[in-house]
Structures are given as structure tokens and as C-alpha cells.
Structure 1
Amino acid sequence: MGSQRVLLVVPFAPAVRLFRLPLLRLLRERGIDPLVFAPDWAQELEEEVKRSTGAMAEGYPLNRAGLSPLADLATLVALGLAFRRLRPRMVITFQPKPNVYGIMAAALVGVPRRFAVVEGLGFAFTPGEENLKKRVARAALRFLYRLSFSLAHKVFFLNPDDLNEFVSQGLVQREKAVLLGGIGVPLEEWPPAPPHLEPVTFTLIARLLREKGVREFAEAARRIKANYPEARFLLIGPLDTNPGAIRESEVRSWVEEGLLEWVPWTEDVRPCLRQTSVYVLPSYREGVPRSTQEAMAMARPVITTDAPGCRETVVPGVNGFLVPPRDAQALAEAMERFIHEPDLIVRMGQESRRLAEERFDAWKVNERFLKELGIE
């Protein structure tokens, strides 16, 4: 059985429910025995993943945001011991630390096939405020990526900007780099919703980080509400511990000012998207954002930035608008167009669904992914 086993290594157990279920189901359909490694499994989530996909779950130690060499060594050792015990045919890793230590561990114990998926460059590579911690993290990651990706058989990227940057910096060999595109969404679970026209509602779903453009969203809301007080703004997302995290006090000040409504998190964002007229993501950089793909599947127009990953989700003037990163005024002007021309909400929403079906069908994306992995 070990020879047919495929191991996925992810940095956060809830991400399995959010992003990996279609892939796990497809692996089972192909007769593969999938097992998912993630830190901090809750029993309920572990049982849900097993029930819905047949995949088993196992934990491992991971300090996601820290720079502790001892903690990272513990991750490497734990994964290496687990891989030696399980003897998988293939290891697939997602996100920075699993990509580094998962690939290294798999190579050290002789896992035959090793694949990494770069779903975004993270805090260290995202343009913005520079400080010593960020520079140290970026230098360390560059070194570790060069080492781990030299041991991978293929490295997948969601957008061409990230792929070209990694190749140009010598972090991955060009012949190993594969452009996958967005991970997609199961469209049958994200059906189009009727347009929401009154009140015109702008929604951002993201972890509360500076790099997600949360402050620009709040400032654009302030400018819009000065002239259109009936407009509604929804901010949906949890506080975070990353260096770019926004303090709870700042978010609550926006709520008290009447700029926006904050939902710290919800397991199912579909009810919020049904209340949404236009989805907004003013991020500085992404892989290809899953939240935007979900909004497109539900027939919502999109305003996002002309930045790597984000620009992959919008055809300007067709299903939404692109604005420069860190430009609250340009963001407010794009929002204002939907207030002045509500027919855009209907027309661009329909185009978003069409583009989602064309580009972001999870089943089509995963079929292509498995083919690249050599799983027919």
C-alpha cells in the first residue's frame, strides 16, 4: 500500500477544508492512498476530511511565522521520520515552510517523487515596508528555496510573475518550473447568486494584514461614505500574528467610525457573498487569490490591484477593474463607478462567472495538476 501512498504537506489544518478537498477526492478516484500532514488538527476537522475524501490525517510540529532554527529543525526531523515510516510514492508540499522542509525531508529519506507548489511569496517577498526582520527572512528563504527546490522534481506556480521571479533569481531551475494557474474552486459548490443592488455593498475577505490592502479598503470606504452614506462595506477575516498584522484596536476604530462592518471569521462565506455587490481585494501581491475565485464563481464583479496574482482574476472593463496597489483614491474611484452605473454589477458579475468556468474550475485544474505529477 505504501507504494501507492501520496503525502500532502500543508502549513495549517483548516486549509485542507478550504483548498485541498477536490484534489484529495480526485486522488482517491485514481486509486491513490492520500495522507495529509498539517499541524494542529482538530478531531472534528480530521473526521470531516476522512469522511468526505477518504484521506487520513497526521500532525507535525510547525512554527509558521517564526524564525527559530531549532523549531525548523524539529519540523525537518519530524517529517523525515514520518516519511521513512510511511514510505510514500510521492510527497507534495504547499506554502513556504512545507516547501522547504517537506522537500528536504523527502529527499533525505529517499521519497521517489517530490513536488512543491508555490501559492504566493508571502510576507518576505511582498512589496511594502522594509525592516531588518523582513530582509533577514527574505535572505534565509532564498537560500533555503535554492536548496530545497534543487531536490524537487517540479515546482508549480500559480502566476507567471512568481515563476519568472524565482527563475531569474536562481531559486529554481527553469526546466523544473511549471505554471499551474489558480487552484480553482468546485463550481458546483459556489453557484452564481442573483445580483445584489441595494444597498451597493463592497466586500473584502482576507486575513487582516497590511499586505492584503485592508487599510486601503478602509480609507476607500471613508471616501465613499462621505458622499454615499448608504453604501455598505463588509470586512471578513481574522486577526493574524504575522509581522504585517493589523491590530484589533485599529479595526474596531473603523467599525466605531461607521466605515465598515467586521466579521472576524465564518466557516462559510457564501452568505456574505450573496449580500455582496462587488468583491474587492486591494492586495499588494498574491499567488492567485482563492477568495476572488469564489466571488467570481458566485457572479460578483471584482476590483483588485494590478499586481502579481491579483491581475490574473480580472479582465479590465469586462468583469471588473484593476487599480494600482496602495492607492485608496483609485480604489474609491473604481467603487464609485458601480454606484453610478449599477448595471455594471449585473453585466460584470455574469462575466466573472463565465471566466470562473473558463479558468478556475477546480476539477479541470486538478486534472491538469495530476497529469503533471504523472498520475493518469
Structure 2
Amino acid sequence: MKIFIIGAYPRSLINFRGQLISLLVGFGWHVTSLSSGANVEEIKSIKNLGSDYIDYKVKRNGLNPFNDINTLISFFCILKRNSPDVILAYTIKPIIWGGIAARLLKHNNFNALITGLGYAFQSGGFFKNILVFIVVNLYRIALKNAKSVIFQNHDNMNLFIDKGIVDKSKCYVVNGSGVDLKHFKLTSLTKEPNFLLIARLLGDKGIREYVKAAKLIKGKYPNALFELVGPEDPSIDGITIDRVNKWTDSGYIQYKGSSNDVRPFIKKCNIFVLPSYHEGMPRTVLEAMAMGRPILTTDVPGCRETVMNGENGWLVEKANFEQLAERMIWFIENQDQWKVMGQKSYSIANEKFDVHKVNAEILKIMGISNEKTF
């Protein structure tokens, strides 16, 4: 039996789907992973999981008819040539163009994992609303014959149902992508007020609010440290390295670049911050929880599922840097609560977000099971 796992980024196949790929290989499935632009080391890492690898053509950002038709043709040819028994696609372009290609080929076992709504679902001006209209209808076409559509929070699922994108009978919710509790281990806290944000350099990750809050706090608590880790992103909402370096030069934050291993940064911090505008289920928050960190994030779909307000952290209003700063100051002035909240985060991660439990649920939804997994 052959299964295709289709993602946008090679690194996400390794970091976010690696455990799932290994599990399927262990079941005896022939796994092929698909993404775009993998380098030699990334292909080697994917193959070390026991998976084959195929590269496909895609322009990840924006809707360009010529580029997207090429992506659709690429998927159509790959699927027709390889005839997988099962397909699991995640993120917007693999789901839309992979789903449409599967539908054209009358493939009856296409499964979509909605890991977040992304920038294309955020309301705005006239042209932004046209983009939302196009994306909604493309999703509707791609998911019409899907066997299952798996979400990471109920808000996203309900939005898809309410907009008529997908029938409720096909919809399921799982607890994010999960986190490997053996890889992200509980570590002790230090005594310094060290805040950390890990995210791609995008405006809707709340990075500007993080910087504004840091600027407010630095005047009163100059020893507070605000670190930022994450790669550039070429999308329309991207923040340039030049802008980030100016923030660093001003002394508001410390930008640490991008990293394939975020554990040293989480270990150094005492409070993990993600002021995002929207998420499916933020993987970086789950990793910080597994390492026993209090969480400060926004009261938006995906993020709110990770925090029991006042127990393992705090939720603040989206795009409200003043409220974000207030809660940061609360953490600075209530150091005795760091360990209590961090322990609660660790307990929640163990109970709800263990990657093995999440993957078992995904495979169960897809009709793939093995007695030893449950």
C-alpha cells in the first residue's frame, strides 16, 4: 500500500510529520513525501525516515494563474504516474492543487490536514476580500470528494462548515501536530526575565506587537530580555531582516536568526510569547509547554487551546501591544508563579499534545490502524 504525504516545505516534513512518516513505515506502508525545493541534506533526512521523496513545482506565496496551473499539472502527473492508495496533504497549496489533481483523477482517498487558515483568510480591503473569495472556492472544489478533512481547532472547522467549503460529516479535530516529549524535555527555569518568540518573520505572528511591548517595558525593567528566533518569509506579510536588525540595534529585542533546533533558546527563556493573529495549533507553543514554560499568547483560534488562563499562562487580545506589555510586566513582577505555570504547561502537553497520541488519532480517522498504537 502506497501513501503520499504532501507538504509545502521540506523541513516541515521532517520536523512536523517525521514521527507520522516513521509510524507509517513501521506499519509496512510505502511512504512517499512530497514538497518543493528540498536541498541534499533535507532529502537525506526524509529518506532516513524510510520515505521516498518527490519534488514538485510551486510558488508558495500569492495566487498567480500561470504558476498555480503548473503546480496543478505537476501534481496531476505525479499522482497519475505513481497511483498512491492514500494521500494526506497539509497547508494551503498542497491541499488545493493536490486535492483538485486527485479529484480529476477520481482518486477516492484524499485526506486534508488544515494546519491553519493563514493570511488568505484574513479580512481586509476590496482586493483582500477578492482573495478570500477565490481561496474559499478553491478549497470547496479541492475538498468536495475528500475522504476526511482534519482540523487543529474547532473554530477553523466551524468556519469551513459555515462557509459551505466542506460537509460536516467529513470533519474531525485533533490536538495540533503534537510534540515529541522525549525530544522536548522538561528543563529548569532561571531567575532572569527572559521572554522568547519563535516564528517566521511575518506581521501576523504578532512580531511588531512584541517589539512595541518590549520597547514599553525596557524603560522600567532594562534587564528584561526579549529574544526573537525565526527565518525570513517571502510572503506579502513578511518582515525584512533590515527591519528586524533596526529593532535589535535599538536595543528592544535580540534577534537570534533561524534555527533547526529551538531547544537551546527555549531552555534559556522563562516565558514563551506568541502574539499571533491566527493559528491552527502553534507548534512552537507546544514545544515550550513540553519544556515547562509559561505561555503568553493571544485569544485567537489555535492559540487559545494551549492556555488555561491564569494557570499555565495568559491570553491577551490580538494586536493589542499594551495588553501584551501588561502581562509581560505581570510575569516580571510575579516570578514565584513561573515554576507553577511552567509545571502546568508540562502537564497539559503530556495529557493533550503527545505526538504519538495525535498521530494515532490522525491515522484512525484515515482508517489506518495498528493494535500496538492504541
- Residue in structure 2 matching 1:151, options 121, 145, 149: 145
Q: CA RMSD in A?
A: 1.1
Tell me the equivalent position of 1:234: 227
Q: Secondary structure at the match of 1:234?
A: strand
Q: Pick closer, same or farther for the CA change 1:260–1:307 going to 2, 3 Å.
A: same
Report % sequence identity.
36
Q: How does 1:1-376 map to 2 (within 5 A)?
A: 4-51=1-48, 53-126=49-122, 130-198=124-192, 200-376=193-369
Q: Aligned letter for 1:268?
A: D
Structure 2: give runs of 5+ residues left out of the alignment: 370-374
CA offsets, 1:200-257, max 9 Å, x none?
Answer: 1000001111111001000110111110000000011122111111233321221111
Please give the TM-score of this superposition, normalised by the length of structure 2.
Answer: 0.97
Contact 1:254/1:260 (8 A) holds in 2: yes
Runs of 4+ in 1 over 4 A off after TM superposition: none
Q: Secondary structure at the match of 1:280?
A: strand
Q: Please state how far the C-alpha of 1:66 moved relative to its aligned partner.
A: 2.4
Q: Please state how far the C-alpha of 1:196 moved relative to its aligned partner.
A: 2.3
Q: Aligned letter for 1:300?
A: R
Contact 1:5/1:34 (8 A) holds in 2: yes
Q: Secondary structure at the match of 1:117?
A: strand
Contact 2:91/2:116 (8 A) holds in 1: yes
Q: Distance in 2 between matches of 1:136 and 1:248?
A: 30
Contact 2:122/2:132 (8 A) holds in 1: no
Q: Distance in 1 between matches of 2:349 and 2:136?
A: 33
Contact 1:304/1:323 (8 A) holds in 2: yes
Q: Distance in 1 between matches of 2:320 and 2:299?
A: 11
Please give the TM-score of this superposition, normalised by the length of structure 1.
Answer: 0.96
Q: Distance in 2 between matches of 1:201 and 1:108?
A: 52
**Does 365-374 or 118-127 show the bigger shift?**
118-127
**Does 131-140 or 357-366 show the bigger shift?**
131-140
Q: Aligned letter for 1:75?
A: T
Q: Please state how far the C-alpha of 1:132 moved relative to its aligned partner.
A: 4.3
Tell me the equivalent position of 2:372: none
Structure 1: give runs of 5+ residues left out of the alignment: none
Aligned residues: 369
